[in-house]
Structures are given as structure tokens and as C-alpha cells.
Amino acid sequence: DIVMTQTPLSLSVTPGQPASISCKSSQSLLYSDGRTYLHWYLQKPGQSPQLLIYEVSSRFSGVPDRFSGSGSGTDFTLKISRVEAEDVGIYYCMQGLAVRTFGQGTKVEIK
């Protein structure tokens, strides 16, 4: 199975400040079709996870533009340009190439 490693595992952010989460995969997520199957999810407290970013950098329907994703191959980053109170929760990266595997999760809280 492909191993996904996230850093940091927790983040405390002042509202309005940026935040960044790193995700590394144990092998390249670039597929032969030219697409890279790395996605980001957010699980808010007490809720089911929700898709935020798909294929590295595309925002899912309804996701605010303060969220952005970047990266290639095995190294990826999720950025929140200005953290808001509603952004608290646990963020997971996930690879979609083989049996889907998630990173350990990064807990984001507000200072």
C-alpha cells in the first residue's frame, strides 16, 4: 500500500493568518493518463469527512477560494490563505491510485 505522511500533525492558527499542511507519498501519484490522484479532505468536529481539493489543486464544488492545493509527484501542500473559525477540524490527504490510503491527519485549531 502507498504510505501517506502528513506534517505537522497539529496546527494552531490565529484567525486571518495563513496555514499550510504538507503531505508526502511513498511513491509517485502521477498516473499514466497524466493526472495526479492526490486529494484533500476535511473532517469537521462531529461530521463526516468532506472533499475539499481533488487532483492536487482543483477545488471541489462550494469550497472557498482561500483553500488551495499544490505539488507534484510525491510532495503536496494544502494552503489556507486566511484561516476562519469554520476551518477547524482534521485535514487528510489521500491518494487515489491504488487501494485508497489517507495521511494521518492534521488537526487545525484556532488560537
User: Contact residues for other proteins (CB under 8 A)?
Assistant: 1, 31, 35, 37, 39, 41, 43, 48-51, 54-55, 60, 90, 92, 94-105
Return the SS3 of 79.
Answer: strand
* Of residues 13 and 105, the one with the C-beta less far from other proteins: 105
Q: Which residues pair with 75 in a beta bridge?
A: 24, 72
Do 13 and 19 touch, CB atoms closer than 8 A?
A: yes
Query: By C-beta, is 16 or 34 nearer to other proteins?
Result: 34
Query: Whole-number minimum distance, CB 75 to other proteins, in Å?
Result: 18
